[in-house]
Amino acid sequence: MKRTVLYMRVSTVDQHPETQVYDLRQMAAQRGYEIVQEYTDKISGVKARRPGLDQLMHDARRGRFDVLLVWACDRIARSTRHLLEVLDELNRLGIEFVSFRESLDTGGPLGRAITIIIGAIAELERSLIVERVKSGMRRARLEGRHIGRPALDVDREGIFRDHRCGRSIGQIAKEHRISRTTVHRVLHPQNPAQAAVPKGV
């Protein structure tokens, strides 16, 4: 008997998920599934953070169920892209996805084919995002713009001088308003070529 979970979502607190619950429980009974958990969110579908869905995915990653039943695809995803991401992850986890309204079942031959297509689309989307990021970085370099965090303006001579005066790492860090790690990196650089004490110290 396959372990299944139900996910229901309604848009406002004034709505009730009873209709979704009834249909999904009936579907689970017809298929001989064992319902091990039910998750419900009363929140707009466009919200990124949903306690019920977050807990569902948390349990999915720990292998606590085999099948996910939803009343409709738009109940679980806030956008087409989000739906692709969810289905792609469920597929990688070996979890079947069944939608009551759309009659989508990734456990069957057609459903598995759809899952492969969805996985390919999700992979393409990830590749496009990576390429856009790389393209933006290349353009920034060509335009002479700095990429990443601004470089720290560290008074290396002052740090060496304070160290020679016997001040602790913590005292030097506080005086120069930098982290202890930065002080340690200046005093003990990994590159031997950088280890020379500045002139005048």
Indicate the Cα dihedral angle 162, 167, 172, 174, nearest 10°: -140
Cα 177 from Cα 144, distance rounded (Å)? 28
Residues serving a catalytic function are 11
Quick check: 71 and 100 in contact, CB under 8 A? Answer: yes
Verify that 17 and 106 share a domain, yes or no. Answer: yes
Quick check: 190 and 146 in contact, CB under 8 A? Answer: no
Verify that 170 and 96 share a domain, yes or no. Answer: no
Tens of pLDDT, residues 2-49? 999 999 988 765 567 888 999 999 999 999 999 999 999 887 655 567
Verify that 51 and 108 share a domain, yes or no. Answer: yes
Quick check: 21 and 6 in contact, CB under 8 A? Answer: yes
pTM metric for this prediction: 0.57
Q: Which of 79, 109, 124 is the last residue of a domain?
A: 124
**Confidence (pLDDT) at 45:** 55
Mean pLDDT rounded to a whole number for the chain: 82
**Helices and strands counted in the chain (H then E):** 8, 5
Residue 142 lies in a domain: no
Q: Look up the CATH number of the domain holding residue 51.
A: 3.40.50.1390
Containing domain of residue 108, as a range?
3-124
Residue 201 lies in a domain: no
Neighbours of 9 (CB within 10 A): 26
Q: DSSP string spanning 109-132?
A: HHHHHHHHHHHHHHHHHHHHHHHH
Verify that 111 and 50 share a domain, yes or no. Answer: yes
Verify that 101 and 167 share a domain, yes or no. Answer: no
Residue 65 lies in a domain: yes
Residue 138 lies in a domain: no
Number of domains in the chain: 2
Verify that 71 and 160 share a domain, yes or no. Answer: no
Question: In the chain, what is the straight-line distance between the N-terminal and C-terminal CA atoms, in Å?
Answer: 76
* Of 175 and 119, the one with more pLDDT: 175
Confidence of residue 155 (pLDDT cuts 50, 70, 90): confident
* Of 62 and 146, the one with more pLDDT: 62
Cα 77 from Cα 91, distance rounded (Å)? 16
Verify that 17 and 96 share a domain, yes or no. Answer: yes
E-strand stretches of 86-178: 96-99, 104-105
Residue 145 lies in a domain: no
Nearest to 115 by CA among 95, 138, 144: 95
